[in-house]
């Protein structure tokens, strides 16, 4: 079924429910389709989409004069539908999508915290993004809120009521937000009996940076640099998604060589992070030898990034209209020559991972996320693929240059830590194959197109398959080619809640490896 078929069927169902659709698709937001609906139909539109097996993918808002414009994304068959409505700033009330899509919970609370927009039947009224550093009537993304507004003095948070567990033998373990290592802060509140976890509740938002606010007023190159810092381990993919959105808004055609080089950077980023994660998963179950081997391989890969692309993590390599640097023949040859040695090393190491009894004992059947749980949350990337959700934007809604490549998307059904590691293992091999094709067939020509800002009101959407899964970036331009609104939806928004479910019934000592197998981005979530 192509997108016209399912979209027309969904529209028919909306008509049956007397949901008024005021306008069809907007070319600027292609390849997504835009439907504007009345605010009183907002909740019912989500209910129908859920009944039609759509996946909920995100929500964001923007203040335009005296109106809030709210947009939500739902996905089916790899195609994206944007639902949009408006409510007055003086009466900011909408129906929640969370009763139909549990993954909408935190993003709706984020919108509520940032704008004061109330979702009337949301099941959780607690703050999410603002914590207690902002006054109750202070909404940072409203236009009247000054960027240099000072938060309240730091004080212990007293008003966030975690779920309580009572009964004989039940006890509570608070973990974080300050951790023993150098990871970013996040709070995890366990209830357990003995060593068995009964419940886990996450509290994130401790590294909220104001990304959405400080994006306002930037020019296109400035937004690309900012996007590359939404989540430092996804700098290529977030920058690509933001640039894709801006280029679509400005109707700029990126040269084929630049698109191919973007994919080279993206697959190198994917490989580096998967190498690091495999080693870290092994380290969390005391398999230090394998951690050292994969850390070594990742380090060699990052050094090649620095030598050939100018930065170990590939920061600022993607710019509006193309890429910042065209590698010379020697650098391209070096990148190509690094592939076979990594393959040979992995051919030695993977059999150990596949057939090591003590590793199998710790990873298999640990942290199981069922296919139904993953589907309801809208899990993405290796979290979804390990639980049987066969979805990859590079294959299912391909963008250049993936539209000319064969992308294999590994899928497993066990849904445990082992399966999430196996997805990473196979994706490394698949990315190496893609790199061979990309480097061997690299087109000639320029690596950038001249930038020309769109008129005020121009908007675009970027859809990129990051190494954690699908990234959505929305951009709207204001006057003078400056950014009026930027929202990056990292896959971690939808993958973090999975950790709360998959830890149930596991023992407390297995939390680190369960957490690492999900490896949500704190920074990508805590905008």
Please count the structural domains in the chain. 2
* DSSP notation for 119-163: ETT-S--S-SSSTTSS-TT--TTSTTS-TTPPPPPP----S----
What CATH number has the domain bearing residue 249? 1.10.645.10
Contact 60, 474 (CB under 8 A): yes
Contact 241, 471 (CB under 8 A): yes
Whether 294 is covered by a domain: the verdict is yes
Whether 461 is covered by a domain: the verdict is yes
Contact 46, 101 (CB under 8 A): yes
Whether 148 is covered by a domain: the verdict is no
Whether 172 is covered by a domain: the verdict is no
pLDDT the model gives residue 399:
96
Please tell me the distance from the alpha carbon of residue 20 to that of residue 221, in angstroms, as a whole number. 39
Whether 98 is covered by a domain: the verdict is yes
pLDDT the model gives residue 27:
57
pTM recorded for the entire structure: 0.95
Its domain, for residue 219, covers 211-525
Whether 141 is covered by a domain: the verdict is no
Identify the domain boundary among 119, 154, 169: 119
pLDDT in tens, the chain (527 residues): 455 577 788 888 888 877 777 765 455 688 998 999 999 999 999 999 999 899 999 999 999 999 999 999 999 988 899 999 999 999 999 999 999 999 999 999 999 999 999 999 999 989 899 887 788 888 999 998 888 777 777 666 677 888 888 888 889 999 888 887 778 899 999 999 999 999 999 999 998 999 999 999 999 999 999 999 999 999 999 999 999 999 999 999 999 999 999 999 999 999 999 999 999 999 999 999 999 999 999 999 999 999 999 999 999 999 999 999 999 999 999 999 999 999 999 999 999 999 999 999 999 999 999 999 999 999 999 999 999 999 999 999 999 999 999 999 999 999 999 999 999 999 999 999 999 999 999 999 999 999 999 999 999 999 999 999 999 999 999 989 999 999 999 999 999 999 999 999 999 999 999 999 999 999 999 99
pLDDT the model gives residue 25:
47
* DSSP notation for 165-176: --STTEEEEEE-
pLDDT the model gives residue 362:
95
Identify the domain boundary among 119, 141, 158: 119
Q: What is the largest CA-CA distance in the chain?
A: 71
Whether 185 is covered by a domain: the verdict is no
Give the tokens for residue 299: 């380090």
pLDDT the model gives residue 367:
97
Give the tokens for residue 505: 């019934």
Contact 76, 28 (CB under 8 A): no
């Amino acid at each position: 079924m192509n997108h016209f078929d399912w979209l027309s069927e969904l529209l028919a169902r909306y008509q049956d429910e007397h949901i008024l659709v005021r306008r069809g698709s907007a070319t600027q937001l292609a390849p997504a389709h835009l439907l504007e609906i009345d605010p009183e139909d907002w909740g019912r539109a989500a209910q129908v989409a859920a009944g039609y097996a759509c996946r909920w993918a995100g929500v964001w808002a923007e203040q335009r004069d005296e109106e809030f414009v709210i947009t939500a994304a739902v996905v089916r068959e790899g195609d994206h539908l944007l639902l949009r409505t408006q409510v007055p700033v003086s009466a900011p009330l909408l129906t929640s999508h969370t009763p139909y899509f549990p993954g909408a919970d935190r993003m709706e609370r984020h919108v509520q915290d940032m704008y004061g927009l109330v979702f009337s039947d949301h099941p959780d009224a607690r703050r999410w993004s603002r914590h207690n550093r902002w006054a109750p009537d202070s909404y940072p993304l409203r236009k009247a809120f000054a960027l240099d507004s000072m938060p309240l003095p730091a004080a212990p948070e007293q008003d966030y009521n975690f779920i309580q567990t009572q009964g004989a033998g039940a006890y509570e373990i608070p973990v974080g937000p300050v951790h023993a290592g150098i990871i970013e802060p996040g709070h995890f509140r366990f209830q357990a009996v003995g060593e068995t976890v009964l419940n886990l509740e996450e509290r994130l938002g401790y590294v909220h940076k104001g990304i959405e606010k400080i994006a306002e007023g930037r020019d296109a190159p400035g937004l690309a640099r900012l996007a590359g810092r939404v989540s430092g381990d996804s700098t290529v993919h977030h920058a690509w998604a933001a640039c894709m959105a801006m280029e679509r808004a400005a109707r700029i055609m990126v040269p084929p060589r630049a698109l191919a080089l973007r994919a080279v950077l993206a697959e190198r980023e994917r490989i580096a992070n998967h190498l690091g994660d495999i080693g870290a998963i092994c380290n969390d179950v005391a398999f230090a030898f394998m951690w050292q081997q994969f850390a070594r391989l990742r380090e060699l890969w990052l050094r090649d990034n620095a030598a050939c692309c100018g930065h170990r993590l590939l920061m600022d390599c993607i710019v509006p209209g193309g890429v910042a640097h065209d590698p010379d023949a020697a650098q391209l040859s070096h990148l190509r020559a690094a592939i076979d040695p990594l393959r040979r090393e992995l051919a030695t190491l993977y059999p150990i991972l596949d057939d090591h009894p003590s590793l199998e004992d710790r990873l298999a059947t640990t942290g199981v996320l069922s296919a139904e749980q993953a589907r309801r949350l809208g899990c993405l990337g290796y979290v979804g693929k390990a639980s049987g959700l066969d979805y990859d934007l590079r294959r299912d809604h391909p963008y250049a240059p993936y539209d000319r490549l064969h992308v294999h998307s590994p899928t497993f059904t066990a849904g445990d830590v082992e399966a999430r590691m196996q997805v990473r293992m196979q994706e490394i091999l698949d990315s190496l194959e893609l790199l061979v094709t990309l480097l061997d067939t690299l087109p000639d020509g320029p690596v950038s197109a001249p930038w020309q800002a769109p008129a005020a009101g121009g908007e675009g959407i970027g859809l990129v398959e990051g190494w954690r899964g699908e990234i959505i970036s929305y951009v709207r331009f204001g006057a003078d080619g400056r950014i009026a609104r930027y929202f990056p939806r990292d896959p971690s928004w939808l993958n973090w809640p999975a950790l709360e479910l998959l830890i149930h019934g596991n023992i407390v000592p297995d939390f680190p490896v369960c957490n690492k197998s999900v490896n949500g981005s704190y920074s990508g979530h805590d905008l």
